[in-house]
Amino acid sequence: MLQTNLFQIDEETPWEDLGNGINRQIYGYDDQIMLVKAKFEAEAVGVLHEHHHSQVTYVESGIFEMTIGDKKKIIKKGDGFYAPPHVWHGCVCIEPGILIDVFSPHREDFLKS
C-alpha cells in the first residue's frame, strides 16, 4: 500500500513551484486520500480543470473567485468548497492565500515517479 510518513513537518515539507504564482506542498496520503497545501500569489489562476477525484478544500487565507460547474462565488479565510468528480472547477486569487485540498483517492499525477 502506498503511504507517506506518519508525520509531515511544515519546515521539512518541500514546496513545488508550479509556475504562474502557485506553489504546492504535498502532505499525508495513501491510496485513498491526500492532503495538499496550495499557495497562490495575487492574480494567480488555478485554471479550469476536472478529474476523477472528489475534492474538498478549506481556505486557510486569502480571497478567491471560485468557479465550480456554472457557479461562481467569492470565498475567503474560513470558507471551503466541494468539487465533485468530473466537474470543471478553478479559481482566480484576488488576495494572496493558501488553500488546503483533500483528494480521494490520492492524486497520482502529483507524485513524481
Domain chopping of the chain, boundaries: 22-107
Query: Residue 32: what pLDDT?
Result: 96
Going by C-alpha positions, the residue among 24, 36, 46, 44 that lies closest to residue 103 is 36
The cell numbers describing 70, all together, are 456554472
Q: What percentage of residues in the chain have a pLDDT greater than 70? A: 99
pLDDT of 3:
85
36-90, pLDDT tens digit by residue? 999 999 999 999 999 999 999 999 999 999 999 999 999 999 999 999 999 999 9
Q: What is the mean pLDDT of the chain?
A: 96
Whole-prediction pTM value?
A: 0.94
Average pLDDT of the residues in 32-39: 98
Cβ atoms of residues 46 and 90 within 8 Å:
yes
Q: What is the pLDDT of residue 112?
A: 79
55, 103 in Cβ contact below 8 A? Answer: yes
Q: Is the domain 22-107 a CATH 3.20.20.70 member?
A: no
Residue 29 has pLDDT above 70, yes or no: yes
As given in the structure block, the three cell numbers for residue 64 are: 478567491
Picking from 20, 26, 82, the residue whose alpha carbon sits closest to that of residue 54 is 82
C-alpha cell at position 37: 497545501
- Cβ atoms of 28 and 60 within 8 Å: the answer is no
